Amino acid sequence: MNEFTFCPQCGQRLERRHLFGRERGHCPSCGFIHFRDPKLAVGALIVQEGRVLLIRRGVAPRIGFWAVPSGFVEYDEQPRAALAREIAEETGLEVEVGRVIDVFPLADPTKNGVFLLFEAHPIGGRLQPGDDVLEVRWFQPEEAPWDEMAFDGLDTLLAYLTPSGNRER
């Protein structure tokens, strides 16, 4: 998120002040302090019968490249609920979201943030690509398009998929 020039609450021009350990935008009129929070994104490694579910991205960044189903957490959402919503939107599947596999820096260079990679397990729904997805497919780990992946973190995915061979819960 860029720095605000004007107060988002009252429209007054913000001043720069040293507050709570660093310089922040401060509104002299209403007292608003601009805390620049990191974006929170969530994604899922979905493995079933030895196959991993990947989507081909239909939106920037990295259109046309493959990724795990993922998306941003809304302001009033918890991460697991956000992930279940994103997976339903992108793949048509209903899932149960399990444990966190790993935590990464957000791959989108236009935003500072955190990416939580979870396990998720399908419990219903029907596989169907959503509006912002070009394609959704199950892959055997050895035939997946690993050289056409949108984001880093591939080593974690591969380590998770390969050591004991197609690990499932």
In the complex, which residues of this chain contact Zn ion (CB under 5 A)? 7, 9-10, 12, 27, 29-30, 32
**Least distance from Zn ion to the Cβ atom of residue 13, Å:** 9
With respect to Zn ion, which residue has the nearer C-beta, 27 or 150?
A: 27
> Quick one: 30 or 63, whose CB is closer to Zn ion?
30
Closest distance between Zn ion and the C-beta of residue 7, in Å?
A: 3
Q: Whose Cβ is closer to Zn ion: residue 6's or residue 140's?
A: 6
Least separation in angstroms between residue 155's CB and Zn ion is 46
| Dist. CA 53–CA 159, nearest whole Å | 16
**CB-nearer residue toward Zn ion: 30 or 154:** 30
Separation of alpha carbons 70 and 45, rounded Å: 9
Cα–Cα distance measured from residue 96 to residue 124, given in angstroms and rounded to the nearest whole number = 9
**What's the closest the beta carbon of residue 145 comes to Zn ion, in angstroms?**
49
Buried/exposed code over 104-128 (b: 16+ C-beta within 10 A; e: otherwise): bebbbeeeebebbbbbbebeeeeee
What is the nearest approach in angstroms of Zn ion to the Cβ of residue 22? Answer: 20
> Do the beta carbons of residue 90 and residue 133 sit within 8 Å?
yes
Dihedral sign for Cα 155, 109, 77, 86, please.
negative
Minimum CB distance to Zn ion smaller for 8 or for 61: 8
Q: Which helix (H) or strand (E) holds 84?
A: helix 79-91
